[in-house]
Chains A and B, each alone.
Chain A
Amino acid sequence: AQSVTQLGSHVSVSEGALVLLRCNYSSSVPPYLFWYVQYPNQGLQLLLKYTSAATLVKGINGFEAEFKKSETSFHLTKPSAHMSDAAEYFCAVSQPGNKLVFGAGTILRVKS
């Protein structure tokens, strides 16, 4: 069975600082991995996805994530945080054709 662990339910960074949101997964077969962002009272927006191509994936809004098989990780990063990045972020794993399994989410707070 697949599962996702997001380390840190809350992360706080200063504006302009590096953003690092951690995600580890377990999967018996090569996974597809996703990061979604959710703003208050809204649905989820896809940030980026890994589907077995390049291990470094670039997404929208300056975010990127690197798939590391040896570490079973797919951490999300952004070099410089912006106030508008404050939201909740979800990591998810799926296998082709299967449903998504979500992590518990990480709330990102950006301090001015």
Chain B
Amino acid sequence: GAVVSQHPSWVICKSGTSVKIECRSLDFQATTMFWYRQFPKQSLMLMATSNEGSKATYEQGVEKDKFLINHASLTLSTLTVTSAHPEDSSFYICSPRGGGEETQYFGPGTRLLVL
């Protein structure tokens, strides 16, 4: 399978600060990037979809000004949680997909705790 990395794997921050999460596809070109969040004991919830070089498309109920997504290259995408609050504490997972592919691969996830 494809190799996907996320950084950081864990982050603890104070309320009101911003946190940037990086996702890299190490051995293939990610034409499309999906960002998910997962609450404890729940399934994955899609937050947004982005195509390289284009603006992200956000799912209903996800604030685009709060969760900034950048997908400037085929190997790197970032998710920035701006002015984080305790309710943003969650497990964030990126999922890149190559062009013409039907398979999504997943990063190892980033655990965010906002105090």
* B1 with A90: CB separation less than 8 A: no
Q: Provided the pairs A34-B103, A45-B1 are in contact, do residues A90 and B109 lie with their beta carbons within 8 angstroms?
A: no
Query: Is B6 on the interface with A (CB-CB < 8 A)?
Result: yes
* A100 with B108: CB separation less than 8 A: no
Complex CA distance for A34 and B106, rounded to whole angstroms: 13
Residues of A within 8 A of B111 (CB): 41
Question: How many residue pairs at the A-B interface have CB separations less than 8 Å?
Answer: 49
Interface size on A, residues (CB 8 A): 21
A22 to chain B, nearest CB (A): 15
Stretch at the interface among B11-19, B43-51, B64-72, B82-90: B43-51
Query: Is B102 on the interface with A (CB-CB < 8 A)?
Result: yes
Chain A residues packing against B (C-beta within 8 Å): 32, 34, 36, 41-46, 49, 51, 90, 94, 96-97, 99-100, 102-105
Chain B residues packing against A (C-beta within 8 Å): 1, 4, 6, 34, 42-44, 46, 49, 91, 93, 95, 102-109, 111
